[in-house]
Chain A
């Protein structure tokens, strides 16, 4: 039992699971007041008795929060695809328990709503695990609830390093900006670029990327001649390109969140003659997600990116994963890193359920996956026991045309990369 939570309420959380059977239906009816008071009594009685929580072969619920609508809905749907694929592959049961995933829509960064959704999932839907979450502020809002709610949280996307430090119950199966950017700086030096211009979106992950690249690149003896933070809403990159060109860089390192600006950025890079002038575009994989590559067309060929997952990754695990995606009705063209983050997240959740035997025991659950390693569709991965973040290969890829489709072709591997962001902080 954790000592840093609120002791008065902590047992009640377990009790609620116990009495879930009693409470459910007739929720929205008008005459509920009496029912409520009866229920309060039942809860109070159970409160006294069921201190240890009740474990039986019942359904374990997992609440998944993600952008199911809005500009980022592709990634919310990817969460669902990844989870569905995992369930299709490994069955509905983890150990002896059925697992049920409940989805909630949160279309943008809105911490107040994130907290209220998480609270609702824990309190009302009685989920034993939380998962998903695309945006950092939303993850930050959920973090303080976890200890009190005794709920582990498997983060399937939000990529700011500090999140896992906000609660001991957070495990991340996605990536961090630092993790993917440090190899980008290394490969830039290896390829012999001396002068690099950095262009990033002016928000948290962008600044993480900028810092990571700058520090690594300069430590390796390179020069960053210019560092531009572009407003997130910018879609006209002509001036930025012109500035970079005038600065005389050998290569450009760029980070923008996936979405319409990336297309405009790549177009502007080509159309302002930077590609023709022999300047190399180097990015994290966020700029070149597979669903966007057809929109770049031939212009995109040759962009080098570093990322932890490519759809074209050649491994039996990835093939099996993509086959399952098709089987559950998804389109392989839509698969991004979010689907893999969710797939591996589901794996972690299954392992947690097996380890706890279905009981609500977050300490045990998290302890069980620390150091866990397996072969993911992205390659070999493991959960770092210190940071509770996933350690994984980061691949250097180049956009190429294969038949009629465009792929991120892996050309180099940086094996077992940790989250450099947290290592730096320590």
Chain B
């Protein structure tokens, strides 16, 4: 670059800066790995439930990529998830039994579904966009219901029995293999996504969310980049879908439903959109809360969950994740 005339760049960098600390990216994945391992040891009987939480967390993170980082309004994200689940499930029923290949296939299907969804819903903004996304998910739901021969319709696609992971680890009754597989995928996804949201592309997407016209004024394009983010989001959602197909052995219409999309959005907003951390917290808190409250009072838990949501809005409008951020500020900073 040509140096800009004038005074030399003299001003020293302010001391304590968040950027440029090496290894910081690995903190969150490490924490998740440790918590995951502790959960495995401490609650070996709850692994199936934890696996379900991890699937939800992956799905909510995927949603966060488009909602939290790009500002796209969608209540139809389950299309991406369901595509992954059905792709993995159908391939498995047709004889492909390697679980990792199945999950990869789910991820690819998620990308395709993401591209198709993006094509439709990025045509509008705000409320009309929300409505387009609802229309897309309802159409996908109906299509899956109609294609009974392939998807099993409302009876669900059953008979998915994947082989052992790496040919070594069978899916067992305790859900150990499933849990470890899910945890590893979660950590890997977290590492990759932390990278993405801190990349130039991530920065650009945050810009698009805050002011798309301003991005155009610095020469950035909107549509193409949003489509790209959708594809990435589809890869993660499809991964989650594929993972659920492989670990539960059944894919139901609920996986492409509006309800599942809406539930994910609730989890995301609950945890705090715009940070991967918030997505994780939201998924864990909502799923866990639902699980335990429903176990205590299966008849009226919905009321309690509703009250929780209202309470969070009134007390912590930025989501539960902001509570953690607030706590973190109280703690002494580790590295300079």
Contact = CB atoms under 8 A, between A and B. Distances in A.
Given A111-B251, A115-B48, A33 B156 contact: no
Interface of B: 38, 41-49, 51-52, 55, 142, 145-146, 148, 152-156, 158-159, 161, 170, 172-175, 244, 248-255, 259, 294-295, 298-302
A112 B244 contact: yes
B41 A120 contact: no
Contact of B46 (A73, A124, A144): A124
Interface stretch (A200-208, A238-246, A395-403): A200-208
A295 interface: no
B45 A123 contact: yes
B52 A113 contact: yes
A6 interface: yes
A203 B41 contact: no
Contacts of A68: 294, 298-299
Contact of B299 (A73, A123, A148): A73
B63 to A, nearest CB: 17
B301 A69 contact: yes
Contact of B155 (A36, A37, A124, A136): A136
B298 A124 contact: no
Interface stretch (A100-108, A372-380, A410-418): A100-108
A419 to B, nearest CB: 15
B142 A231 contact: yes
B41 to A, nearest CB: 5
A204 B155 contact: yes
A119 B252 contact: no
Contacts of A160: 155
A143 interface: yes
8 A-B pairs closest in CB distance: A137-B156, A124-B45, A68-B298, A105-B298, A203-B154, A111-B250, A119-B48, A141-B250
Contacts of B146: 202
Interface residues of B, dominant DSSP: helix
Given A6-B172, A204-B155, 10 more contacts: A68-B298, A111-B248, A115-B48, A120-B45, A120-B48, A124-B45, A137-B154, A141-B250, A145-B173, A162-B155
Contacts of A144: 158, 161, 249
Interface in A283-338: none
Contact of A137 (B49, B174, B252, B298): B252
A13 interface: yes
Contacts of A115: 48, 248-250
A349 B47 CA distance: 28
Contacts of B248: 111-112, 115-116, 141
A127 to B, nearest CB: 12
A112 B43 CA distance: 20
- Residue of B48, B146, B148, B255 ringed by the most chain A CB atoms within 10 A: B48
Given A119-B173, A166-B158, A69 B302 contact: yes
B218 to A, nearest CB: 44
A9 B249 contact: no
A371 B48 CA distance: 35
Contact of B55 (A103, A112, A119): A112
A192 B44 CA distance: 63
B46 A69 contact: no
A6 to B, nearest CB: 6
A27 interface: yes
A108 B146 CA distance: 20
Contacts of A231: 142
B298 A203 contact: no
B158 A140 contact: yes
Contact of B42 (A32, A109, A112, A166): A32
Nearest to B153: A204
B252 A116 contact: no
Contacts of B142: 231
A122 B173 contact: yes
